[in-house]
Structure formats: structure tokens, C-alpha cells
Amino acid sequence: MAKITFDGIEVEVPDGTTILNAARTIGGGIVPPAMCYYTPLKGSGGKCRACLVRVAAGSTKDPRPMPKLVASCITPVQDGMVVENTTSEQVLNVRKGIVEMLLINHPLDCPVCDQAGECDLQNFAFEHGVSTTRYEEERRTFEKIDIGPLIQLHMTRCILCYRCVYTADQLTPGRVHGVLGRGDASEIGTYIENIIDNDFSGNVIDVCPVGALTDKTWRFKQRVWFTKPVNAHRDCPKCTGNVVLWYKGKDVLRVTARKNEYGEVKEWICNECRFEKKETADWTLEGPAAIDRSSVISANHYELPVVNPQIIADLPESSVRDLEQNPPLKLGN
Amino acid sequence: MGRKLLTEHINVEGIDTFEVYRKHGGYRSVEKALKTMTPDEVVEEVKKSGLRGRGGAGFPTGLKWSFLAKPEGVPRYLVCNADESEPGTFKDRQLMSKLPHLLIEGMITGSYALGARTSYIYIRGELLYVLRILEKAIAEAYAAGFLGENILGSGYSLDLHVHPGGGAYICGEETALLESLEGKRGNPRNKPPFPAVQGLYARPTVVNNVESIAAVPVIVNEGGDEYAKIGIGKSTGTKLISACGHLNKPGIYEIELGVPVEEFIYSDEYCGGIWKGRELKAVVAGGSSVPILPTELILKTATGEPRLMTYESLSDGGFVTGTMLGSGGFIAMDETTCIVRNTWNFSRFYHHESCGQCSPCREGTGWLEKVLHRLEHGHGSLHDIDLIVSVAKQIEGNTICPLGEAAAWPVAAAVRHFRDEFEWHVKHPQEATRYGAVYPGKAVLA
């Protein structure tokens, strides 16, 4: 076990834990933002530099500060480490710079982007960035590419976090998804537009922190804050079948995997669950999915009737039983 | 005239063949090390020599070797970084093409010291003809029994491979080099773990520059103490300097560390002064990534001491009034040089070579290049000058690998010392962008 001080709060974590995960055990507003690190994906992290923190003391043995800011998502803790995140002005200034760098080639087309409302970059820029830009040049643009019939890649929005690359590498056999080109001309490639023909390829949509990879069965259907997330499950032979259904009225517009409070997928879901099962009758409803209160999704009239059996006329028998046994949590009022 | 430790026989006819090289004392260090020394003794000699990495960072080679993790039953690797692509640096190419056996001898001795059974030379892909020379030399060394199984009957075996790169500057960064050597995209790795613990194929690995490895035979032959007598202070031995730019005699010079910069530029023994009888304007002393210095500061430090060709003297004054020895790519610019254009040119290079993995470097290098392009072509504003300093600061120190710093330092230094010239470009765009325009003013010293 290693004891570290993070922003003045002492916490004890197992050896080998990263600084970011140690901060997450404390939770709250002191957790550094992460745009590329993704716990379920091995090897992710270190790229976006959003989680840079200052190490004021390396360890009890060697209490010198580290010369540069370190990426908290990949740096393991040492016993006696003192880390400054929100308490260091340098860190906050650098983070402001990182927001600026991530946004200079981002189209800022949030008004027409499906990710708006649940976008990591939006949240990150809102919390840590400045509202003006110093960038006058032309932004890089790409043609939209269809990755198979169900996923669309809009490279212009990509921040090159490599999450989808790791997902494709680690969930699907045979490397069909990687990065082509270099520098600010690099792009997510699918190996000459090879279709990712795999039951779990849809997960690249969930891991994308921005709107670069979108679900073609959901594109432009609805703003995310007008839909209601409902936890549901089904017996799926391929995956666990634990999902979130996004309702607008009676219609299931979208199916996604369940995510934790840091936006990380808890269990990967298969393409059949994601793209094909869009009827309430396919699912056993569990109740509203928890949404952060600060999220724009919960800000919009979050009400219960969505999962009320009387309104959803064709709710299956099992769902009614489930609902009676576990009445949904009341959110809002 | 200083001693030539590496390039003494460089002009001998046929020195790239095994027989001639052997006749001139080649492979003595292999015999000495394998027959009379233990691996630790070789490491100890290199430590004593005070040899510092010749690739740019100047980290003591002996210390690097002693950091190598040595778990039981796990192979270790020595990798030679021959991916020399820094603008202004061209010393390794010459060393390898003229004296391939010197590098091979160094690789054998070094691998023996580190306990490596397989070693690699990662050579820049563009240097295809050098690759052929090395391959021929390696075949000769195998035939002569200096490579392969049971070298010289000592029981030590070594295989040496040459691997060409695919044409990326970033593959000169040691972890990107290892990725590339493993057959992957040459993206730098996150550190820690460092290569000394998890390098090539996740095994302990040492990555050394060509010139560092070529110095090992000399150190083993003459002894570390003897080698350390050359040079000044912590800058020991000789260094290859590839001098280019507006000099009367550009070329590759092997100097004893400690030669005054003034002597190096103006004496007939070295570069022979500035061409066409012109004045020196600025010098980039260690390859394009180090800060540029105006004449006054490269000849003398801020405190008025004469500047010497050593690691310490060149970095005297930090990045405010100093620079770095770096990889020894010495670029001299005469009074007609446009610093803005030069800075833009460097930025263009780093923009092109950024791997695109981490955001400050990927976006920042492109941004710098675009703003500098604007300034150079007379469309800039005074605000742009502060902007590039600010962007350079946002990149510096926040990236995965040192390429971010390499892109940021020259820009920051150019504005620091030549701000007036940047402002001249903004205020008098027509004059400044005219063909052959020469800035009439002087540099800012601090």
C-alpha cells in the first residue's frame, strides 16, 4: 500500500495504482479530467495531456519534485508522493492550454453534433478552457467515412485519443482499425475502409469522447437531452445484455452500454443489442439510469412516466414484474 | 591540432574492409575485452571515461549502462540509434559509411559489457547505401569470427542485425525507435517504464547513439582514465561536429571538447571563418532543436567568458543566454540570413515530423508553423509574435517525448534574441519580403 497526498487529501491505495485512479478513490471535483485514458482499455492514456498534474514530492525516499508535469493516468503512485492538481496554478494554466490545443482543429459544430450534451470535450472545455480563441487559420477537415453500414467516422471532430483503436485491437480479432498519417494530418483509418465486421465493433461509438464515431441508426434522430435513459437487460447469447435504452416518448431511439461516472463503459455490448433491438418488448426494463445532476441530460424535465407501464402499452410481463419489485428511483423534485 | 580518436584512419584507402581495418589496429578492443576483462570491468571503464551520450541529451553513457536491469534468464538488448535525421547533423552517416567496422567493433564490445546476445543497429531508411556498407562489413565480421557463436573462443556469442527505418524523424526518439524496431508504428512510449527496464520486446534495453558506441573501442583500448584526460571538466573526449551553413570550410570535424567556439569558427584548422568575408549573425550550435544564439552570445557567455565547445560552456546561462551542444550539428548563419524564415523553416520540419500522438505537439507544431508562415510572408501582426512565444510555452514540457521541446525551443529563442527582426517583418512587410532583403538591425542579447 502507498500513502499519497492529493490536493491536501491523504489517501491510501495499492502499489502500482496510477495517480488518476488514486484521485478517483477520493472522487469529486479534484479528479483530473481524462480525455484519452479509459480503464477497460489496456495501454490507453498519456496522449491527450489533459490529466497533467504536478508532483511536488516524488516519494518519501526521494522527496524531490518531478521536473515536469506528469500525466496522472499513467504515472504510478509512490509512497509519500505529494500531488497537486487543482491547488497548482501551473497545472490549471497548462490545462487551459491543452483545451486550446484540442479545440484549434475541432470544428465546434456542437449544434449539429450528435454527441453534444454527453461530449467529454464539451465538458472539458466548459470546465477548464477559455471562451475565446487565438486561432485564425483554417481548420483541418476530412470527408466523412462509413465504417460498415452502422458506424460513421467524422474525422474532422476527432481528437486522436486512440480509444477506438485500442477497442478495435482488444475486442476484435485481426487488426482493422488504426491510425494513418502523422502529426495533425493523422487520421483514424480502417485499413482502406475495411468494414469492421465484428459483433463488438459498435463499442467504438461508446468509447469515443467526441462525436467522431457515431451510430448511424441514431444520427440526427434527437438531441440527447430530449431523450430519457433507462437501464434494461435481455438474455443475449453474445454479451451480458446490460444496456441503457434512450427513450423519446415510447420509442427507443438508441441503445448504449452502461457507463460509470467517468464515462467508462462497464460492460461491452454486442452489435445485435446495440443496433437491432430497438423495441421495448425486446428488453426487461430496470428503471431510469443514473445521470449526473450537472449534466444537461438531467436538466431537461426528467420525469418518470417514461417507464410507467400504463404509458408503455406493450411492456412485457417480466418488465412489469420487475418494476413492481424494484420501483424506479425518483429523480428530480 | 587535437587528437583524433575516432577518425584517425578515416581517409585510409579501403578502411571499410575488414583486412585494412584490422591492419590499423581494428578489433583490438574486442580481443582485450573478451579475453582479459569481465563485462562489469568494461562498464566501469566507460564510467571512468566520463563519455556522455553523443546523440543530443549528453547523458553519461556509463551511468546509462549501469542502470540496465539484469533479471535472470531474460535477454537484454543493445540498440544502436543510427536514425540521424536532425537538420544540421550529419556526423553518424559519415562515420558509418567510412568506418563501418568501428561501429561494429563498438557494438561487440558494448554488447559484451551489457550481456546482450542480440544487438540491433536501427539505421535511417534514407541511408540505404550506408545500410549496404554495414551489411557487407557485418558479413566480413561474421566470416572473421568476430560475430556469431563463441567469438574468439571466449564462449560469448553475439548476433548483430541492421534494421532500416521507414523515414520518420520521430524514430530517433529511443522509445519510438524501439516501437518501430518491433514492427509497429513509431510512436514514442509513455515513460516510465524506461527502456533500461522494459525496452525492446519489453526486455531491458540500452539505446546508444552511433558516436557513443564508436567511442567504446577507444575507451577500452586506452583505458577510461586516459580518455577522460581529453576535454574539460565533465565534457571528456572528442566529439564529431558537423559544421554547415555559411562557412568557408563546412564539414565534419573531430574536436577535443573544450575548443573555443571562436577558434572553431574562425581558425583555418577548422571552419576557416565565414564565407565571402561576411559577418557572422547567428549560430545554432547543436542541431535544429537547440536555441539559436546571436554572434555576441555564441562567442562569449553573458558573463564575458569565452564560450567553449563543451556541454557546460554552451549551456552556460540556461536558455536565456545559452544553448546546448546537442548532437553537434553546428549551423552558422551570416549577416544576410533571415531569422524569421529560418525559424519558419525549422517549424515546418517539426510540424511535418510530429507523430500526432499527444495533443500539445500535434496541434501546437502546426499552429507555430502557420503563424510563422504568416509572419515571414508579411501578413503577421505584432500580436502574432507574442502568440508564438505563448504557444511554444504551451508545448514545452507537456508532451510525451522531447520532440515538443525541440519544436518549441528554437522558436522561443529566435523571438528572444531577434524580436526586432520579427517586428521589422510586421512593420515593413514590403521591404522584409523582398527577394534578398537583409535586416539592418542588431540582435537582442538577453
pLDDT digits (tens, 9 = 90+) for B390-430: 999 999 999 999 999 999 999 999 999 999 999 999 999 98
* Region class of B304: left (phi > 0), else alpha (psi between -120 and 50), else beta: left
Could you tell me the fold of the domain covering B339-432?
de novo design (two linked rop proteins) (1.20.1440)
Task: Over range B125-136, report the average pLDDT.
Answer: 95
- Domain layout of chain A by residue ranges: 2-95, 105-131+140-215, 225-325
Residue type, B304: G
At B237, phi and psi to the nearest 5? Answer: 85, -165
Confidence of residue B182 (pLDDT cuts 50, 70, 90): very high
Give the C-alpha separation, A89 to B316, whole Å.
Answer: 29
Range of lowest pLDDT (A217-231, A294-308, B280-294): A294-308
Give the C-alpha separation, A34 to A123, whole Å.
Answer: 11
Residue type, B322: G
Whether residue B38 has pLDDT greater than 80 = yes
**Distance linking the first and last C-alpha atoms of chain A:** 43
Q: Which residues contact A279 (CB under 8 A, 6 or more apart)?
A: A252
Could you tell me the fold of the domain covering B238-334?
Ubiquitin-like (UB roll) (3.10.20)
pLDDT value of residue A174? 67
- C-alpha angle A76/A80/A81, rounded to 5°? 50
Could you tell me the fold of the domain covering A105-131+140-215?
Alpha-Beta Plaits (3.30.70)
Same fold flag, A2-95 and A105-131+140-215? no
Q: Which residue of A has its CA nearest to B352?
A: A183
Task: Over range A150-159, report the average pLDDT.
Answer: 92
Confidence of residue A194 (pLDDT cuts 50, 70, 90): low
Chain A positions touching B362 (Cβ under 8 A) are 101, 160, 183-184, 186
pLDDT value of residue A131? 82
Share of chain B above pLDDT 90, in %: 91
Residue A280 three-state SS: helix
Q: What number is the ipTM of this complex?
A: 0.88
Task: Over range A206-218, report the average pLDDT.
Answer: 94
- What stretch(es) of chain B map to CATH 3.10.20.600? 238-334
- Mutate: best of A70, A101, A137, A163, partner B, most B CBs <10 A: A101
Task: Over range A252-273, report the average pLDDT.
Answer: 93
- For B285-332, how does the pLDDT look when each residue is reduced to its tens digit (9 = 90+)? 999 999 999 999 999 999 999 999 999 999 998 889 999 999 999 999
Please give the class, per CATH, of domain A2-95: alpha beta
Share of chain A above pLDDT 70, in %: 89
Whether residue B221 has pLDDT greater than 60 = yes
Size of interface A-B (CB pairs under 8 A): 90
By DSSP bridging, strand B159-164 and strand B118-123 are parallel
Chain B positions touching A69 (Cβ under 8 A) are 397-398
Task: Over range A48-74, report the average pLDDT.
Answer: 93
Exposure class string for B192-228: b at 16+ Cβ within 10 A, else e: eebbbbbbbeebbbbbbbbbbbbbbbbbbbbebeebb
pLDDT value of residue A195? 59
Confidence of residue A304 (pLDDT cuts 50, 70, 90): very low
pLDDT value of residue A296? 79
> Mean pLDDT across chain B, nearest whole number?
93
Q: Which residue of B has its CA nearest to A179?
A: B185
pLDDT value of residue A310? 52
pLDDT value of residue A332? 46
- For A80-130, how does the pLDDT look when each residue is reduced to its tens digit (9 = 90+)? 999 999 999 999 999 999 999 999 999 999 999 999 989 999 999 988 988
In which element (H, E) is residue A99 found? helix A89-104
> Mean pLDDT across chain A, nearest whole number?
87
Confidence of residue A333 (pLDDT cuts 50, 70, 90): very low
Q: Find the chain B residues whose C-beta atoms sit closer than 8 A to any C-beta of A.
A: 168, 170, 185, 190, 192, 351-360, 362-367, 370-371, 387, 394, 397-400
The answer for A 156-215 residues in CB contact with B (under 8 A) is 159-160, 162, 178-179, 181-186
pLDDT value of residue A330? 53
Confidence of residue A28 (pLDDT cuts 50, 70, 90): confident
- Specify the CATH architecture of the domain B18-229: 3-Layer(aba) Sandwich (3.40)
- Mutate: best of A91, A182, A186, A187, partner B, most B CBs <10 A: A182
> Do B410 and B286 form a contact (C-beta atoms < 8 A)?
no
Share of chain A above pLDDT 90, in %: 61
Task: Over range B125-143, report the average pLDDT.
Answer: 95
Whether residue A311 has pLDDT greater than 70 = no
**Number of Cα atoms under 13 Å in the Cβ half of residue A11:** 22
Confidence of residue B438 (pLDDT cuts 50, 70, 90): confident
Q: What is the pTM of this model?
A: 0.91
Whether residue A303 has pLDDT greater than 60 = no
